[in-house]
């Protein structure tokens, strides 16, 4: 199996997990988030395959980036649809507002990814969007960071797939095991908050990096 085939495989697994999450019950939430964790584990293999076979390429990095962030967006959409169905079935008063919240978060996620792509292309950082955080580490240092940006910089790991996917899977399985709506609420609203924080972090970092270059 080639690295690109592994990338496509983990994307298919991730999309299937997102579709299950969209069904809107606790069992599907647990199964879907578990598949997302499996997808994340497979995602760690494509780069290793490319390095082992000495076939690393910028095109392969971009394919992995596109597939990863397509899965992220599919997760937000699936979670929104699933939580909307769950909230409606539970008779929750805010069920009617879930599509707007999810739509706004999806739009923010798309804007975030597009902004990262532009930054990566402009500064020739390769095909990995994780390179943006490393670039901030190099450019925005010491007193230039400030307490607010430094705090966001520490929280950025919540936006990294190998960090947030185990959390998502744990919360999803806990919701099913304890048959508790509480975990579903935490997962939905926690995801909304994390996406907004990531946008603020990367926007603030881009502004700081730009001001330091022009200083």
Q: What is the per-residue pLDDT across 144-156, written as a single tens digit (0 to 9) for each? A: 677 777 788 777 7
Supply 94's token pair: 């805010």
Question: Alpha carbon of 102 to those of 39, 97, 142: distances in Å?
Answer: 23, 9, 36
For 1-57, the pLDDT digits (tens) are 777 788 899 999 999 999 999 999 999 999 999 999 999 999 887 666 656 655 666
Higher pLDDT, 200 or 85: 85
Neighbour-count burial for 186-195, b at 16+ CB within 10 Å, e otherwise: ebbebbbebb
pLDDT score, position 211: 74
Q: Would you kindly state where each structural domain of the chain is located, as residue ranges? A: 3-214
Cα angle 138-135-165, degrees, rounded to a multiple of 5: 120
pTM of the model: 0.90
Nearest C-alpha neighbor of 33 from the set 73, 89, 65, 78: 78
CATH topology of domain 3-214: 1.20.120
Nearest C-alpha neighbor of 205 from the set 129, 107, 139: 139
Helix (H) or strand (E) holding 199: helix 181-214
- pLDDT grade for 136, boundaries at 50, 70 and 90: confident
In the chain, what percentage of residues exceed pLDDT 90? 50
* CB-based contacts of 182, cutoff 8 Å, min separation 6: 175
Supply 205's token pair: 């970092």
Rounded-to-integer distance, Cα 138 and Cα 158, Å: 20
For 89-134, the pLDDT digits (tens) are 999 999 999 999 999 999 999 998 888 888 888 877 766 667 787 7
């Amino acid at each position: 199996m080639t690295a690109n085939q592994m990338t496509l495989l983990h994307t298919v697994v991730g999309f299937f997990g997102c579709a299950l999450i969209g069904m809107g019950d606790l069992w599907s939430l647990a199964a879907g988030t578990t598949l997302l964790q499996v997808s994340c584990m497979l995602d760690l293999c494509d780069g290793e395959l490319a390095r082992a076979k000495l076939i690393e390429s910028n095109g392969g990095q971009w394919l992995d980036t596109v597939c990863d962030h397509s899965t992220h967006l599919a997760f937000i959409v699936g979670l929104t649809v699933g939580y909307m169905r769950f909230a409606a079935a539970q008779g929750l008063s805010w069920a009617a507002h879930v599509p707007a919240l999810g739509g706004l978060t999806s739009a923010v996620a798309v804007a975030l990814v597009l902004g990262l792509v532009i930054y990566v292309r402009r500064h020739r950082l390769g095909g990995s969007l994780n390179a943006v955080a490393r670039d901030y580490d190099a450019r925005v240092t010491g007193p230039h960071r400030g307490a607010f940006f430094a705090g966001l910089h520490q929280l950025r790991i919540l936006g990294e797939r190998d960090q947030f996917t185990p959390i998502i899977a744990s919360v999803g399985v806990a919701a099913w095991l304890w048959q508790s709506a509480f975990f579903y609420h935490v997962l939905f609203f926690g995801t909304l908050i994390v996406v907004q924080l990531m946008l603020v972090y990367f926007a603030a970092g881009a502004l700081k990096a730009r001001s330091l270059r022009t200083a």
